Amino acid sequence: MKRVFYCHKCAGHWENDTARPGFKEICTHCGAYLHCCKNCRFHLPTAHNQCYIPDTEYVADRKGLNFCEEFEFRSGTPEQDGQKGQREQASEKFAGLFGELPDPPAKTSFDDLFRD
């Protein structure tokens, strides 16, 4: 039974029986390498070496191909995997702790500072 996986770059689908593409296999939609850290279920930017599995080899280009034997394609679409900007993620976590963030104060022009 074929399973569907999604490219980290374009969210294009890739169907295969296994969760491991070939080392040099590319996305048919955008040409990005499929066997890369950004597509791996163990990719964790906050962990040492940005990988959940300790003692993996260092990979300089997280979007480029690598030869990691631990690679497994992540499940779900990039949107489901929380591919949001760090600022958005931090804001959501902060809002969860203290409630909604207040609206920022209206910006004033430089001339408004010196008016009576």
Question: What tens digit of pLDDT does each residue of 84-109 get?
Answer: 566 766 777 777 676 665 666 666 77
Name the phi and psi angles at 94, rounded to 5. Answer: -65, -45
pLDDT above 90 for 33: yes
- Residue 101: the pLDDT is 57
Q: What is the pTM of this model?
A: 0.64
For range 28-42, the mean pLDDT = 92
DSSP string, 14-77: EEESSS---TT-B-TTT--BSSSGGGBTTB-TTSGGGBSSTTPPP-S-TTS----TT--BPPS-
Q: Which helix (H) or strand (E) holds 6?
A: strand 3-6
- Residue 81: the pLDDT is 47
Report the mean per-residue pLDDT for the chain: 81
Residue pair 21/4 in contact by the 8 Å Cβ criterion: no
- Residue 76: the pLDDT is 76
